[in-house]
Structure 1
Amino acid sequence: MADPHRSERPRTAEERAAFRAWVRAHHPDVGGDPEEFAAGLRSFRRPARHGRAAVSVVRRRRWPASAVSRWRRRRRRARVLR
């Protein structure tokens, strides 16, 4: 599944180095402003294309939990009927 915060093209080594240098300089743990840091992260993570990134929802089966709970319900029902 694609990360919604990343752009389609991979970042170059220079872009990654610039981002790491910016983080080291502005991180709140080293005295940077937390609001400015959060705004800067949002601008770095914004996808290159316009608009929001598409979010894909993946539905997963609940196996084997659904089978176990179904078996438990049936056993309880059978116990009541005896």
Structure 2
Amino acid sequence: MTGGDRDGRAAFREFVRTHHPDVGGDPAVFAEGLARFRAGKSEVDSRYDAPVSFAARRRGVAALLARFRRRPPRVR
């Protein structure tokens, strides 16, 4: 991360802390500011463009059995 990226991120975080509607900011001003920050980005941040996938966790007996299946066999 270069110094310019850090400065831009710090400015964005300060804007959000100051103008977010949850802390008493005006929603219209907040939306306008977000649009300005997004328009000013020179490169696309692809970290958040990937599809989201969820994996169900096993519960109960199935989780217990899966835990023991993953253990390597004992060597005597």
TM tier, shorter chain? Answer: 0.3 to 0.5
TM (norm. structure 2) is 0.46
Whose RCO is larger (CA < 8 A, sep 6+)? 1
Q: Which has the larger radius of gyration?
A: 1
Which structure has the highest helix share of the two? Answer: 2
TM (norm. structure 1) is 0.43
